[in-house]
Amino acid sequence: MLKPTSQAKFIFATLAALTLPMAAHADGERIAVFTKNQTNPFFQYVRLGAESAASQMNAKIQHYVPTKPDSIPEQISQVEDVVVKRPDAVVFIPVDNKAMVSSVQKMNAAGIPVVNVTDRIESGQIVSFVGADDFSLGLETGRFMLKAMGGKGNVVIIEGVKAALSSTNRVRGFRKALEEFPQVKVLASQPGNNQRLQALQVMDNLLQTHPQIDGVFGTNDAMATGVIEALDAANRKALVVGINGTKEAVDAVKAGKMLATGDYGSFLQGCFGTMSAIRYLRKMPVEANVVFPASLITKANIAAFDVPAEKLVCPKWESLIATK
């Protein structure tokens, strides 16, 4: 009932399982990488980063992605299965920073080192945390847009999935930025659930009630681009910012449709998360806490980010120290 390709995978996987001894060793460590879903480009970049890092340090990557996007029960099950398989280390993006604590503790109990990426887990022992600060991203992107608006006018917020931490923090950041610009009025804050179509239709509807919208803050790029489509269709103009720095957002910024997008450093998160894991196994020093400073992708610095995914390669570990 399986396609030939996946049968091939079976065989490969079993070979791997048989040939590789359990203990850690200087080479070919098996790193299990957990991401939230297969549909959001952000996690694709994380996975690419992880693979690039692994190939540089010749370790092996195994990806674990819930079949239902962001499904908590499924990620828990996957952790349980991984504990059975005992990889040398785990690079872990929890689908929920609280609900996954028990799973992290399971891995701790099994003695598998865990590097926490993107969303900071509430508790449980981790080798290191590698991620960006959603709050300051929201703050910086917001600030940038509000400045561009000349500190006055009307804005709307398109929220992400209610249950997701990153969205909430980004909104919090943006609201903080708003405090600096008292003349800016928030007309509405409505849910787009990280879905392009929903964001678009929500924007459609908001455009009806609000004749004057000067700025839109989308908590991720997919929604921001959805908003842009809505604006185009209605022949309305407004400054739009998103967060994540995905390919399409970069293109939109280049085309001048989007004002800016917060750089979430997804690829780098994959790189340094994986590097930290491997370095830890190889008894090399690692940073306990790597948080990328919030940076923006704007027309000014666009060139640096306009690189196709397959061309991306992880920078050296040392460059990380330099950025701090």
User: Please, which of residues 285-304 interact with other proteins by CB under 8 A?
Assistant: none
Min dist CB 156 to other proteins, Å, is 9
How many Å apart are CA 145 and CA 156, to the nearest integer? 12
Please state the three-class secondary structure of 6-69 as a single string. Answer: HHHHHHHHHHHHHHCCCCCCCCCCEEEEECCCCCCHHHHHHHHHHHHHHHHCCCEEEEECCCCC
Of 192, 234, 197, 196, which Cα lies nearest the Cα of 213? 234
Which residue, 137 or 164, has its beta carbon nearer to other proteins?
164
Which residue, 44 or 261, has its beta carbon nearer to other proteins?
44
Q: Which helix (H) or strand (E) holds 196?
A: helix 196-209
Binding-site residue total for other proteins (CB under 8 A)? Answer: 83
Min dist CB 313 to other proteins, Å, is 18
How many Å apart are CA 37 and CA 72, to the nearest integer? 11
How many Å apart are CA 72 and CA 38, to the nearest integer? 15
Which residue, 83 or 275, has its beta carbon nearer to other proteins?
83
How many Å apart are CA 92 and CA 201, to the nearest integer? 34
Min dist CB 284 to other proteins, Å, is 26
Region binding other proteins by CB under 8 A among candidate stretches 51-59, 136-144, 219-227, 316-324? 219-227
Which residue, 13 or 284, has its beta carbon nearer to other proteins?
13
How many Å apart are CA 203 and CA 223, to the nearest integer? 10
User: According to the binding rule CB under 8 A, does residue 197 interact with other proteins?
Assistant: yes
How many Å apart are CA 222 and CA 219, to the nearest integer? 9
User: According to the binding rule CB under 8 A, does residue 164 interact with other proteins?
Assistant: yes
User: How distant, in Å, are the alpha carbons of 66, 67, 265, 274 from that of 54?
Assistant: 22, 24, 18, 7
User: According to the binding rule CB under 8 A, does residue 307 interact with other proteins?
Assistant: no
- Cβ burial of 8 (10 Å; 0-12, 13-18, 19+) is exposed
Region binding other proteins by CB under 8 A among candidate stretches 2-10, 128-136, 176-184, 289-297? 2-10
How many Å apart are CA 127 and CA 114, to the nearest integer? 6
Say if residues 273 and 84 touch (Cβ distance below 8 Å): no
Task: Enumerate residues 226-245 that contact other proteins by CB under 8 A.
Answer: 226, 229, 232-233
User: According to the binding rule CB under 8 A, does residue 125 interact with other proteins?
Assistant: no
Which residue, 34 or 317, has its beta carbon nearer to other proteins?
34
Which residue, 41 or 262, has its beta carbon nearer to other proteins?
41
Min dist CB 228 to other proteins, Å, is 9
Query: What is the contact mask toward other proteins in residues 84 to 103, using x (rule: CB under 8 A)?
Result: xx----------x-xxxxx-
Which residue, 112 or 290, has its beta carbon nearer to other proteins?
112
Those residues with Cβ within 8 angstroms of residue 92's Cβ, 6 or more apart along the chain or in another chain: 34, 100, 104, 107, 114, 115, 116, 117, 121, 126
Which residue, 179 or 310, has its beta carbon nearer to other proteins?
310
User: According to the binding rule CB under 8 A, does residue 175 interact with other proteins?
Assistant: no
Min dist CB 321 to other proteins, Å, is 30
Task: Enumerate residues 20-79 that contact other proteins by CB under 8 A.
Answer: 37-41, 43-44, 47, 62-74, 76-78
User: According to the binding rule CB under 8 A, does residue 80 interact with other proteins?
Assistant: yes
Min dist CB 316 to other proteins, Å, is 26
Q: Which helix (H) or strand (E) holds 92?
A: strand 89-92
User: According to the binding rule CB under 8 A, does residue 282 interact with other proteins?
Assistant: no
